[in-house]
Structure 1
Amino acid sequence: MRMPRSATTLFRSCQLQRRWNSTSSSLPPPPPTTAFTNLSSKRKLIALWGPDASKFLNGLTTNHLPPAGSTEGLYNGFLTPQGRVLYDTFIYPATHSSHWTNIANSTDQAYFIEVDADAHADLQLHLKRYKLRAKCKIRSLEDQFTIYSAWGLPTAPSYSVGCLDPRAPKMGQRLVLPAEVKPEIDAEEASVEQYTLRRYMQGVPEGVSEIFSGSALPLESCMDYMSGVDFRKGCYVGQELTVRTYHTGVTRKRILPVQLYNLDQHEAIPTSLTYHQMTTLPTPPSQANLTRPGKKGRSAGKFCGGIGNIGLALARLEIVGATDTKDAESVEDKLVVEWEEEAAQEDGEKEKRSIGMRAFVPEWWPREGSQE
């Protein structure tokens, strides 16, 4: 039986997450205060251009595209008709890029779409499925441009294609440069793992292994908090459920930054989100279950991804005790991440694993009752 495409993408990404967990012999150092990272191993670009490019994309995405003449990109998502997130993306106007116009030999309206590398081919198929008679073209830009993230700089670097990263106040800038050009930034070049760790500390999910493709909801994935949804926007695929959920004012689960700790050694529950580079804790796989020992009822949520003792989890807010004005999780109500993995013995049995988890509410979240 063939899995749906979104399920196939998520399965492949989860396998990659497990491979990192099982083969990493050392953890990255803490992310530098000021740095930039080449993201091309994790994020890919798709070009879409033509007379109908803006109208076509506006009918598929959760955010209003930049007005004509704007050079600033934005964060948004593509949804299923049922309002589930397929892909989280950045969209950058590119008509003004001389490097692009030389490649395309066109001055038509153009956009670059940045997406998770594991969803790159799937998003191209998604766009072609809806294209029908729209006058626009679609192509991959895997080798022509490079994606960078830069943060902590005293002044924002200049860029032709890119944007301020709006997802959280300390996420810095997104830059898209020709493949042969490196950013002119007086800062250290950090690894992708350091960028990812910094993102986890900020509580910012990214990609199909963290925003589960085909099942995640935009608000549960904090896309509203991260400036990824325009609730005043007109019709687009998946709009109805998204807007209805927003206006009910009830979002029962959200993705939160979490810290893992050892249950077997009776470690104290962490009181602040702190990365420990020398930890020997196992990292649970993406979509591992969150449970409350000795308590029945609904699942507390799912683990999204992690490095060392820091990660992200989709958690039920009422269970972790989190609101916009309270810290997450009471000391009396422990949360545990549970999963199974292949045992050392080759007997076909799977070994059950578990680890303690504490969730934290990011400082940048809107306060209770403040809907933007």
Structure 2
Amino acid sequence: MHRFKHSLLHPRFGPSFNIPIRFNHDHSLSDIGSMASRLRSRSVIRFSGPDTLKFLQGLVTNDVRRLGEPVGNAERISNVPTPNMSFATVPPMYAALLTPQGRFLYDFFLYRPSRSEERVDPTGSAPGSDPNGEFELFADVDSQALDDILRTLKRYRLRSKVTIENVAEDFSCWQRYGNNLSSKCASGEDPEGVAIGWGSGTDLAATSSSQGNEHGWQWFRDPRLEILGYRGIFPSTTEAPLVGADKETHEDNYLLWRLEKGVAEGSTEIPKGEAIPLEYNLEGLNAISFDKGCYVGQELVARTHHRGVIRKRVLPLKFLSSCGKVEDQRVVSGSEVLNAETGKKIGTVTTALACQGLGLLRLEEALKQPNTLTVQGQVDVKVEAIKPNWWPLEWFQENQQIAVA
């Protein structure tokens, strides 16, 4: 397949790199169809060895023991004997590595590749052999911090029997997203994969093979939020399934998709060594287990969760002119957000692209109506803070408690 040369494109350009995305009246991406982006901001590392789970369990915020459990009925089961594809899979997991003081360092998407005993053999009739093969996990991590991540992990390794390898040249990270991928389907089902077939029926073999490739790699629901779409890692030498030239688009569009949902990702958007995980909503993104036992930085996270009130959180932002029109490329990361009436600083823009962004803001003032927020030094730019639909109700109750106090 012919590939277009990637360059830094204006975010309004979407699939095929030359067809403008049809923004709706409020300049959002909520009405677009499915797209896919190769995430060049993410790289892949590989863990292997008998101590892999034990090593990660004492290090990251989520309970990685689930990745080592036998596949049960709760996991997605394939209904068809497609050669080399798993008849059962373990979903990926989102987690973070913290400093001993409980501050964010790096985030990880952890994948357990299907084992040979979980795959159908080339005849399509039975699982493969070698159930005692080497245990391994793959992690999708921030490319800009890749070297630091490897050094940090190896520093913690000590005498653990685990090998940590950089396989960024061999694998690529991909994300599929868009409005029609957020539709309600049975758990684990892919709306586009389910649609493959003849007439009103579904070709189950085609459905299964469309979601993975001949090496056994496949798409998974994003472990953070269903509305984010599908995520996967695939060999760099092969095409990701269900991605055609008309759907592959610049990674900036995936960033815009995340900004609309209020989801930060990577150490460039979640400040390394500074961010408090709960302020960046990591518990709502399924990155933290509060009953797994000890891990690096657990004390602050547990104490804040059980006793504290989160006064600041990351919110999606929209930048508007004084007349209500969107303002493209006028606000940069690090800009201070002010209450226009009092001149008081209520937070900071952490990420900005086009007319959208993320901001770490004080909830009491950010969500107060009417909205009177602006950017320091740009009084003609209004800032609209938006309440994400996926936020748990108790987060709003916390905000109400703050206001009452």
TM normalised by structure 1 equals: 0.76
In structure 1, which of residues 201, 224, 233 is the aligned counterpart of residue 260 of structure 2? 201
CA deviation profile, 1:193-214 (whole Å, cap 9, x unmatched): 1111111111111112211111
- Report 1:39-78 matches (<5 A): 39=39, 41-65=40-64, 66-70=67-71, 71-78=90-97
Aligned to 1:361: 387
Counterpart Cα distance in 1 of 2:141 and 2:253? 19
Aligned to 1:248: 307
1:169 is displaced (CA, Å) by 2.5
Which is richer in strand?
1
Q: Secondary structure of the equivalent of 1:300?
A: strand
Aligned to 2:211: 158
1:119 is displaced (CA, Å) by 1.2
In structure 2, which of residues 356, 365, 369 is the aligned counterpart of residue 319 of structure 1? 365
Aligned CA-pair RMSD: 2.7
Aligned to 1:295: 342
1:291 is displaced (CA, Å) by 1.7
Aligned to 1:127: 153
Pair 1:107 & 2:126 matched: no
CA deviation profile, 1:112-144 (whole Å, cap 9, x unmatched): 111111111111111011011111111111110
Aligned to 1:226: 285
Residues 205/27 of structure 1: CA separation in 2 closer, same or farther (3 Å cut)? same
User: Could you tell me whether the CA contact under 8 Å between 1:95 and 1:109 is conserved in 2?
Assistant: no
Pair 1:172 & 2:209 matched: no
Aligned to 1:96: 115
1:226 is displaced (CA, Å) by 0.7
Aligned to 2:323: 267
Aligned to 2:124: none
Counterpart Cα distance in 2 of 1:49 and 1:237? 21
User: Could you tell me whether the CA contact under 8 Å between 1:95 and 1:107 is conserved in 2?
Assistant: no
Q: Which segments of 5 or more consecutive residues in structure 1 lack a partner in the other structure?
A: 1-19, 99-105, 271-275, 322-328, 340-351
Aligned to 1:346: none
1:296 is displaced (CA, Å) by 5.8
Q: Secondary structure of the equivalent of 1:78?
A: strand
- Report 1:19-30 matches (<5 A): 27-28=12-13, 29=21, 30=23
Aligned-pair identity (%) = 32
CA deviation profile, 1:252-272 (whole Å, cap 9, x unmatched): 11111110012xxx224x8xx
Pair 1:238 & 2:303 matched: no
Q: Secondary structure of the equivalent of 1:368?
A: helix
1:287 is displaced (CA, Å) by 2.5
Q: Secondary structure of the equivalent of 1:245?
A: helix
Q: Secondary structure of the equivalent of 1:125?
A: helix
Counterpart Cα distance in 1 of 2:323 and 2:278? 33
1:26 is displaced (CA, Å) by 6.8
Q: Secondary structure of the equivalent of 2:317?
A: strand
User: Could you tell me whether the CA contact under 8 Å between 1:261 and 1:281 is conserved in 2?
Assistant: no
User: Could you tell me whether the CA contact under 8 Å between 2:96 and 2:107 is conserved in 1?
Assistant: yes
Counterpart Cα distance in 2 of 1:180 and 1:97? 21
Residues 185/62 of structure 1: CA separation in 2 closer, same or farther (3 Å cut)? same
Q: Which segments of 5 or more consecutive residues in structure 2 lack a partner in the other structure?
A: 1-6, 14-20, 24-28, 72-89, 118-131, 182-189, 194-209, 398-405
- Decide which structure has the larger Cα Rg and report it: 2
Counterpart Cα distance in 1 of 2:105 and 2:253? 26
1:94 is displaced (CA, Å) by 3.0
Aligned to 1:342: none
Tell me which stretches of 4 or more aligned residues in structure 1 moved more than 6 Å. Answer: 23-26
Q: Secondary structure of the equivalent of 1:124?
A: helix
TM normalised by structure 2 equals: 0.70
Counterpart Cα distance in 2 of 1:96 and 1:163? 16
Pair 1:282 & 2:350 matched: no
Counterpart Cα distance in 1 of 2:355 and 2:395? 32
In structure 2, which of residues 225, 231, 239 is the aligned counterpart of residue 182 of structure 1? 239
